[in-house]
Amino acid sequence: MNHYRSKSIATWIAFFGGTLGLHRFYLHGFGDKLGWLHPLPTAIGLLGVLRIRELGQDDHLAWLLVPLFGLMVAQAMLFAIVYGLTPDEKWDARHNPGQAGPGTRWAPVLGAIAALMVGGAALMGTIAYGGQKFFEWQLEGEAAVRR
């Protein structure tokens, strides 16, 4: 017998643990290969955040690693939004075949709203940071050529 997969729980797991793939493990079990792809990029991105905290803004390796963490947060929030806004009938057909769910109320919608705010901020911050560091790198290259 398959266990019922709650849309509300999946939404909030994606919000809080989506960067580690916990939402995929909830929905598909620990054998889900895509779920196991989440922790490594998240850890590498967090390494970049730690490098910036310890070594400062001039660490070139951190320039590459920090946007990876931002993208992992953004993708987790995207999953939370998709889960939260999926119609109940479609959710049950995909994740609870043959079982009628109790119907959702506001929990997944509130999760989707929270994910939209966090995910939008993470994605905008990642794009801004990556663009800034790219142009700084270009200016450093021009300055080196002039010398």
What pLDDT, on the 0 to 100 scale, is given for residue 34?
95
Domain residue ranges of the chain, discontinuous segments joined by +: 7-146
pLDDT in tens, 107-117: 999 999 999 99
Token pair for 54? 């310890």
Residue range 47-54: mean pLDDT, rounded: 94
Instruction: Place 134 in a pLDDT band, splitting at 50, 70 and 90.
Output: confident
How many other C-beta atoms are found inside a 10 Å radius of the C-beta of residue 125? Answer: 15
Handedness of CA 71, 72, 75, 81 (dihedral sign): negative
* d(C-alpha 99, C-alpha 35), whole Å: 25
DSSP, collapsed to helix, strand or coil, labels residue 128 as: helix
Token pair for 124? 């905008």
Q: Model-level pTM greater than 0.95?
A: no
pLDDT in tens, 5-35: 999 999 999 999 999 999 999 999 999 999 9
Tell me which residue of 136, 18, 19 sits closest to 69, measured CA to CA.
Answer: 19
Residue range 50-62: mean pLDDT, rounded: 90
